[in-house]
Amino acid sequence: MPSVRRVSHDFLERQGLTTVFGNPGSNELPFLADLPDGFRYVLGLHEGAVVGMADGYAQATGRPVLVNLHAASGSGNAMGALTNAVASRTPLVVVAGQQVRPAIGPEANLASVDAPALMKPLVGWAAEPACAGDVPRALAQAVFEARLQRRPTYLSVPYDDWSADVDDNALAVLDRQVLRASAPGEEQRRWLVERVASAERPALVLGGAIDSEGRVDDAVRVAARRGGPGGAAP
């Protein structure tokens, strides 16, 4: 079975996040192990410089850029420069190391206590996965949130998670794409219709706006045309 590290590296490569700016510590080394040859690591001697370089690179390329920081100390050192990235709406994906899971609760050395809360005043999204198997999905969300919000995101990962094995569910992130539009354009509508029409057992999951905008009957008709069941939350 593939490891969290392998799936995460594959995902980042498919998303084009192969240039990494960082100032790593011991908590980050398991992520950097076996880094594919196509990756480039740009080392900085202070986190402010690291975020500044990543900020400029992301603005120049127009794409999300990965930033690699060291637990709470490295994240704290980066926050001053991160305020500029927030103001510039720069899509930075900040991934910070964390102590091994058994050491987080006792607040052992290099543990980041409530890591997502540390950065939440600045970033548009922050998390620490509930378990090792959730790391690839959380990493994918960090990338997509940064791209869609045009704002930095933050992910704290316990360093023993990277070597853990994952099941086939984690591999789904490799082909995942997320699009956003206030109203779908012609190309998006065509893509959606083709996907629904070609699916053998489509599952349509629709939000509460369907009800508030009086579109429940329309949604039921769409499901019925595809021969699918319908249901609603109580």
CA pair distance 223, 229, nearest whole angstrom: 7
Rounded to 10 deg, the angle between the 4-14 and 135-149 helix axes is: 20
Question: In 3D, which of 78, 94, 99 has the Cα closest to residue 30?
Answer: 99
CA pair distance 154, 148, nearest whole angstrom: 14
CA pair distance 66, 137, nearest whole angstrom: 16
pTM of the model: 0.84
What DSSP string describes 134-203?
GHHHHHHHHHHHHHHHTS-EEEEEETTSTTSB--GGGGGGGG------SS--HHHHHHHHHHHHH-SS--
CA pair distance 91, 15, nearest whole angstrom: 13
List residues bridging with 42 in a β-sheet.
21
Whether 72 contacts 115, CB under 8 Å:
yes
What pLDDT was estimated at residue 37?
94
CA pair distance 21, 41, nearest whole angstrom: 6
**Residue ranges of the alpha helices (H) in the chain?**
4-14, 29-32, 47-61, 71-87, 101-104, 115-119, 135-149, 186-198, 209-212, 216-225
Instruction: Spell out, as residue ranges, where the chain has pLDDT lower than 50.
Output: none
What pLDDT was estimated at residue 46?
97
What pLDDT was estimated at residue 204?
81
Phi, psi of 37 (to 5 degrees): -60, -30
What pLDDT was estimated at residue 234?
67
68-109 per-position pLDDT tens digit: 999 999 999 999 999 999 999 999 999 999 999 999 999 998
For CATH 3.40.50.970, the residue range(s) in the chain are 4-175
What pLDDT was estimated at residue 154?
98
Determine whether domain 4-175 maps to CATH 3.30.750.24. no
What pLDDT was estimated at residue 39?
97
